[in-house]
Amino acid sequence: MISEVQVAGVDAGDEFIEIYNPTSAAIDISGWSIQYLGGTSQVENVVKKNFEAGNVLPSRGFFLIARGKNTSGVDGYSGSVSVDLVHRSFSLSGASSGGKLFLVNDAAKIDSLSDVNIVDALDYSFLVPEAGQSLERRAWQGGCVSAQGPGETLGNGCDTDNNAADFEILSTAKPDNSLSSSEPN
């Protein structure tokens, strides 16, 4: 599941996508991809980054994907949490009207918004977080609860298929990677 997204931080390229595995088994994602569609773009304009050989999403754990720095060493992820996969395939902050992210279980570009290979999707056109903030998926405890405060270690398992209900704004982004502690759900 897409669990946390920052679209800008100290600069427009300071962005990341965190994914979460709510299952009790690790998942080999090396043949998968993360795909992006900006604002009101059509699906034929989707861009993607393929996961690499050996990429694994730990059981009840996280995987961090971030935009790498450009050749000048700027315009990229500036966080202190190590990245599991670096890319410069797309920019999440390119559309003030938001965008759509797709976690896809193969490396082919999706051909529709209902492509059968889409494992999870986030359309953040309902709310674009400000620089340094992020959208975080709520936790699941018999219903969707905040993943902040006492809910911070409950996992990011809320999935009602309504992004506005499933996600909340974090005033300060808190990315996790594959080495972060696992969470119960």
Q: Tell me if 21 sits within 8 A of 88, measured CB to CB.
A: no
Alpha-carbon gap, residue 2 to 176, rounded angstroms: 12
The two three-digit tokens of residue 17, written as one number: 């996508």
pLDDT at 166: 95
3-state secondary structure of 157: coil
pLDDT digits (tens, 9 = 90+) for 6-65: 999 988 899 999 999 999 999 999 999 999 998 878 899 999 999 999 999 999 999 999
d(CA 122, CA 46): 14
Tokens of 68: 């790498």
Q: Are 49 and 87 a contacting pair, CB within 8 Å?
A: yes
Q: Which domains does the chain have, with CATH numbers?
A: 2-170 (2.60.40.1260)
Average pLDDT, the chain: 92
The first and second tokens of residue 134, run together, are 């992020």
Are 70 and 13 in contact, with CB atoms under 8 Å apart? yes
Statement: residue 185 has pLDDT above 60: no
Interval 65-70 mean pLDDT: 94
